[in-house]
C-alpha cells in the first residue's frame, strides 16, 4: 500500500511541476513570437492559456464569417495607464492576434472607461476562434 501511495503522490508532484506557462511576466511576451508556430491554426484559448500576466484591455476589429479576418490587440495595463502613455506617444507591450471568424468585440454601449476591459465574457466569446497570425509589439510597460 505504501509504495502505491508514494508513487501516486510522486506522480502528482511531477505532473504539476512539469506544466508551466510560457509567458510568466509582461517581459516574456517575445516568447510568443519565438514560439508562434505553437499557436497558429489553433483556437485562441491555446494562446490565452500560456499568458499568465493579466490581460486588462483589448481592442478588437470584428471581421465576419464570410472570410474577413478579425483581430484583437491585448494590453497588460489598465485604461488610465493606456491613456497616459498614449498622450506621451509611448508604446505599450501588446499582443496582436489575427483570428478567423467574427470576433466578439468591444461593447460600444458601455462607458468608455469600461468598454475595453478584457473580461470572461470576451474570453468565452472568442476562445474558439482560430489564430491565423500573431505580432508582438514591444513597449515600455
Residue 3 lies in a domain: no
- Kindly report, residue by residue over 29-62, the tens digit of the pLDDT: 899 999 999 999 999 999 999 999 999 999 998 8
Residue 6 lies in a domain: no
Residue 121 lies in a domain: yes
**How many domains is the chain partitioned into structurally?**
1
d(CA 76, CA 92) in angstroms, rounded, equals: 8
The secondary element (H helix, E strand) that includes residue 11 is helix 2-18
Residue 4 lies in a domain: no
Confidence of residue 17 (pLDDT cuts 50, 70, 90): very low
pTM to 2 decimals?
A: 0.80
Q: Please say whether the beta carbons of 28 and 136 come within 8 A.
A: no
- Kindly state the average pLDDT of the residues 115-138: 94
Residue 44 lies in a domain: yes
**Among residues of the chain, what percentage have pLDDT more than 90?**
51
Domain that residue 86 falls in: 22-137
Residue 16 lies in a domain: no
- The C-alpha angle 123, 128, 130, rounded to 5 degrees, equals 115
The order of strands in the sheet holding 130-137 is 57-61, 70-75, 94-100, 130-137
Whole-number pLDDT of residue 113:
82
Residue 131 lies in a domain: yes
Amino acid at each position: 500500500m505504501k509504495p502505491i501511495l508514494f508513487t501516486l503522490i510522486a506522480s502528482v508532484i511531477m505532473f504539476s511541476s512539469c506544466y508551466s506557462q510560457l509567458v510568466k511576466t509582461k517581459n516574456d511576451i517575445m516568447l510568443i513570437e519565438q514560439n508562434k508556430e505553437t499557436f497558429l491554426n489553433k483556437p485562441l484559448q491555446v494562446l490565452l492559456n500560456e499568458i499568465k500576466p493579466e490581460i486588462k484591455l483589448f481592442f478588437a476589429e470584428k471581421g465576419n464569417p464570410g472570410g474577413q479576418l478579425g483581430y484583437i490587440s491585448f494590453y497588460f495595463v489598465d485604461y488610465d495607464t493606456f491613456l497616459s502613455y498614449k498622450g506621451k506617444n509611448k508604446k505599450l507591450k501588446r499582443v496582436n492576434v489575427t483570428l478567423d471568424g467574427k470576433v466578439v468585440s468591444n461593447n460600444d454601449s458601455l462607458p468608455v472607461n469600461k468598454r475595453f476591459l478584457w473580461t470572461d465574457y470576451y474570453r468565452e466569446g472568442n476562445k474558439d476562434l482560430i489564430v491565423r497570425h500573431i505580432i508582438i509589439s514591444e513597449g515600455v510597460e
